[in-house]
A and B are shown apart, each in its own frame.
Chain A
């Protein structure tokens, strides 16, 4: 494996710079506790989706998951409709919350498994497969909800996932960090993680080495789907209502985050911590521009510039140029 501390250091550096710039623009209120809480509570929904995209990319062979936000909406809408029909969210808040979260994550997992099955068993190219399932998931969500918003309400403990604080940190962010850490550990310490990365690096070798290729693929996309389900839970918890067309812009932003985090589009390499840092960087940048009262078109430009900068850095090993002692030989 190549050394990649450089990418992480750069991401952390960028985050610190953005925090400082935000403080300068806003006269300090950018670093107020309330804004830090506000930003960290906005982060998880897109963060979950970005980790899902990263997992799919790592699987190699053109792996990508375009169905993320569609599946997140389907999980929350379907779960709200199903659970809402059986349990009242006001009378038995606790049962409703638990059932809602479970069903949403299960729907996400099943949707992801469908992706995995189609890709591994039927050998459909991931980009086409997930484009198709994306439309199918959106369609199902429209049908079950009649195209209208579905009310989830604010039953406890679901509402505290959206709005609650744990020692001053939003609960949704704590959940996000915990899940991210779990996946990072899974990738680093289990055979699954090793298989996934090696398979992404060289699928042919993986076949000859006798890896359980199909099972790894299905598990990967199922995990990506579960993350979508979690994103759906967080969206529902924060917004009170869920709707099939929420967050259509998230699709590309999630991919942007993954690429910015140095995940290799050809597969075989990606670090969860970098994805988390890249997600934070995009959040800081967009909040900072809102604080500065700049047009949202500037934000799109800034995101694009940031992405190009990162691509240039990883392509030409600029961090290596700055620290000549550790410069690696060009490939």
Chain B
């Protein structure tokens, strides 16, 4: 049993070794003596870098991450159920297993529907005063304001 899993740790150590070896090879072969000056500046399309890049970031990414956590945990909980589903079917309890998982799914789908309705799944949330054509759905609804 443990024999199946022990290769993982050996592989991790081996991976570190396999990265370090070519890096040593590279440090032997690549030029080293002309570093310095503008070469070590951050790249910004040839301009001098403007301030630090470590800035506050758009909250949309964090919302996506939060929704992801919920769904990923859901998927993980489904795997053990999926493994035994056929066994339940063969014993005649298939419908029971199915209904139970559907209850679990419905609870999650309520949350999903909430996020969808609150338009947290939309990347662009802005509303425009004038919007036509394929951007028409972005137009501000005057009555609701």
Same complex for A and B? Answer no
